[in-house]
Structure 1
Amino acid sequence: MKKENNKSSNRFSINSWETFDDTWPYEPHFNKAAGFGMHYVDEGDGEIILALHGEPTWGYLFRHLIGSLSTKYRVVVPDHMGFGKSETPQDRSYLLQDHINNLEKFVLDLNLKDITLVMHDFGGPVGMGLAIRHPDRIKRIVSVNGPTPLAQPNLGQALNKNGATSPWFSWIFKAYENGTLEQVLSQLDYNILSTLKLNGFENNDLITDTWLNAYGAHFKSREYTLGAIGWAKGFAEGAHQFEPTTSSTAEKISKKPTMAIWGMADKTLQANYFIPLFQEAFPNGEIHTLNGVGHYSLEDAPEEIASLIEVFLEKS
């Protein structure tokens, strides 16, 4: 194992036992298989549900889902490197392939099998990267406003069209060009709400000091924002690379039980582009659309989403 130097020393921005006024009552666990302290929760017993967050959230996004499903299933929710209660090493890349590598090492170290993936935002391509590398470990796939790249012929065209009309991606490219992207995202402890709003957060009734603290706590200074900056900057530079796959692997994955749940008010990953991409990848997959629900659909409609996933698990 590569020895970590002082520059990449272990860094946490949230106390590992912080519960945010009991809205996050889950015991913290840490895994170092990927060379840093990856925080995760591991609740319940039974078939494994692996829930993967995106930008700029963390496992807190799944807090209601954990409570609902852990009575029947084992729910494992890691925080990606540089997010939530995971460490933010200072000498690492935060591109898609690195997150896939981290997740793969985490899953293999815990020997997780018969996994139901539940993926939101960039958790989608990270989870699909794991599925492509280890299709035999994946039992079901659930996309909740999360892309599912699987060698679709129209993938590139759809991504370009979405990026041209998405407020979030439009801002990324503009801010990168004028040199303000890192400056803005390095202050996420202050502007976390405006970032969530730009992405299409809809449920204003949730906004409390506790909720804002939960989502902004990791980003208390610039050194802790490398994950959020790296993900956005990777888009601006075209540096993220989807996991390559063969036609036989893609066909094997496409036959697994799959479901997409999409908040139709999502401004970041617009339904008119991403639902057809899901259908291309999974012709037999279920699709459920939620009107008035935005990009952070697990915040806007947590009970409805938990119910849809539970029914899907029981019948598949």
Structure 2
Amino acid sequence: MSRFEGYPFRSRWFVHPARAGLRQHYVDEGQGPPLLFVHGNPSWSYLWRRPIDALRERHRCVAPDHIGMGLSDKPTAADYPHTLASRVDDLDALTTHLITERDAPERGWTLVMHDWGGPIGMAWARRHPHRVTRLVILNTAAFPNPHGARARLPLRLPLWLLRDTALGARLILRHNLFARGATWRPLGVRRRMPASVRAAFLAPYARPEHRIAIQQFIRDIPLRPGDPAWRILYDTGRELHRFANRPALIGWGLRDPVFDPAMLTYWCHALPHARTHVYPHAGHYVLEDAHERLIPEISDFLEQDR
């Protein structure tokens, strides 16, 4: 029986030679055209349990946990850079390993992205556009905040608190506030999570030293030019048009307090031929709130756009 509700998948590990032997956990289930699921903060590959279970009979489903998250090794801030650039490099190294050592195809990948998975996945796609056949975009952004300096005040204050203050660091590391908050209504979900599901989302972050990547992801949010992740995010957004000819599906929870309709509109302009499905009563974890509708729509998209 699986340790986590609805997550009966075999654990696999990739040892990063360029990361002092850090182990990255990933799921690799099924056969067929490959799907690459890229999660964000503070989730892990558990987020993808339902689409993997539904799609693995017809697709090869690959879902890594970023280093420091999920079941991957959890280095200190001194032992790993915890930057957007490092995440893209890690994804590149893992996918190259799968292609060269585990019989994954070089081409034909579908990127499925949520939250920080958008910047990570699309920056990887910029490096290897020939590998990417399709895109599935779920409440994420791969471009600077379209609100710019006018980002809404109710979000600026908590972000400043969590990103830039010692109190914010204590709330994240000591009290696990960010990961816990993502499982609460109305912050991360609009539908109450079952206790077993909430426990699974939180299990990898049971101790303060296991929450460093969560904190570092928040610190890496680029708010202005000069922030470390800004250039990658800016360049990725500027080049999204290169993927406008790829089949794309956008699935969007409209009750997300961070990834709001302005970000959805940006995606729609960048990918004008994308299928777009909105879920008025779903929040940030759209796969938790609207999976009954969203997963069949993803499956239909994959079958029709082969």
The interval holding the TM-score normalised by the smaller chain is 0.7 to 0.9
With over 3 angstroms needed to count, the CA separation of the structure-2 counterparts of 1:106 and 1:188, relative to structure 1, is farther
Name the residue aligned to 1:133.
Answer: 127
Name the residue aligned to 2:84.
Answer: 96
Distance 1:104 1:133 in 2: 9
Which of 236, 256, 262 is the aligned partner of 2:246? 256
Give the 5 Å matches for 1:1-316: 19-20=3-4, 22-33=5-16, 35=19, 36-90=22-76, 91-111=79-99, 112=104, 113-149=107-143, 155-161=144-150, 163-165=151-153, 167=155, 170-187=157-174, 189=176, 192-197=179-184, 199-204=187-192, 206-208=193-195, 210-235=196-221, 238-241=227-230, 242=232, 245=235, 250-271=240-261, 273-316=262-305
> Structure 2 unaligned runs (5+)?
none
The alpha-carbon deviation at position 252 of structure 1 amounts to 3.3
Distance 1:65 1:247 in 2: 27
The alpha-carbon deviation at position 166 of structure 1 amounts to 5.8
The alpha-carbon deviation at position 88 of structure 1 amounts to 1.3
User: For residues 89-120 of structure 1, what are the alpha-carbon distances to aligned partners after superposition, in whole Å with 9 as ceiling and x for unaligned?
Assistant: 22111121111111011111111431101100
With over 3 angstroms needed to count, the CA separation of the structure-2 counterparts of 1:300 and 1:135, relative to structure 1, is same
| More off after superposition, 25-34 vs 117-126 | 25-34
Tell me, yes or no, if the aligned pair for 1:29 and 1:41 is still in contact at 8 Å.
Answer: yes
Tell me, yes or no, if the aligned pair for 1:135 and 1:249 is still in contact at 8 Å.
Answer: no
User: For residues 277-308 of structure 1, what are the alpha-carbon distances to aligned partners after superposition, in whole Å with 9 as ceiling and x for unaligned?
Assistant: 10222121111101100000011111211111
Distance 1:274 1:176 in 2: 21
| TM-score (normalizing by structure 1) | 0.83
With over 3 angstroms needed to count, the CA separation of the structure-2 counterparts of 1:31 and 1:70, relative to structure 1, is same
The alpha-carbon deviation at position 243 of structure 1 amounts to 5.0
Distance 2:179 2:238 in 1: 42
Q: What amino acid sits opposite 1:132 in the alignment?
A: R
Tell me, yes or no, if the aligned pair for 1:66 and 1:75 is still in contact at 8 Å.
Answer: yes
Tell me, yes or no, if the aligned pair for 2:222 and 2:229 is still in contact at 8 Å.
Answer: no
Distance 1:175 1:166 in 2: 13
Distance 1:181 1:278 in 2: 31
> Structure 1 unaligned runs (5+)?
1-16, 150-154
Q: What amino acid sits opposite 1:29 in the alignment?
A: R
The alpha-carbon deviation at position 45 of structure 1 amounts to 0.5
User: For residues 17-39 of structure 1, what are the alpha-carbon distances to aligned partners after superposition, in whole Å with 9 as ceiling and x for unaligned?
Assistant: 9622x521100000123532111
What SS does the aligned partner of 2:75 have? coil
Q: What percentage of aligned pairs have identical amino acids?
A: 26
Distance 1:97 1:166 in 2: 29
Distance 1:53 1:159 in 2: 24
What SS does the aligned partner of 2:6 have? coil
With over 3 angstroms needed to count, the CA separation of the structure-2 counterparts of 1:207 and 1:248, relative to structure 1, is closer
What SS does the aligned partner of 2:32 have? coil
Which protein has greater RCO, CA pairs closer than 8 Å, 6+ apart? Answer: 1
Tell me, yes or no, if the aligned pair for 1:202 and 1:294 is still in contact at 8 Å.
Answer: yes
Q: What amino acid sits opposite 1:19 in the alignment?
A: R
Tell me, yes or no, if the aligned pair for 2:42 and 2:178 is still in contact at 8 Å.
Answer: no
With over 3 angstroms needed to count, the CA separation of the structure-2 counterparts of 1:188 and 1:262, relative to structure 1, is farther
Q: What amino acid sits opposite 2:293 in the alignment?
A: E
Question: What's the C-alpha RMSD, in Å, of the aligned pairs?
Answer: 2.5
| More off after superposition, 181-190 vs 49-58 | 181-190
Q: What amino acid sits opposite 1:143 in the alignment?
A: I
The alpha-carbon deviation at position 236 of structure 1 amounts to 7.0
Distance 2:210 2:162 in 1: 20
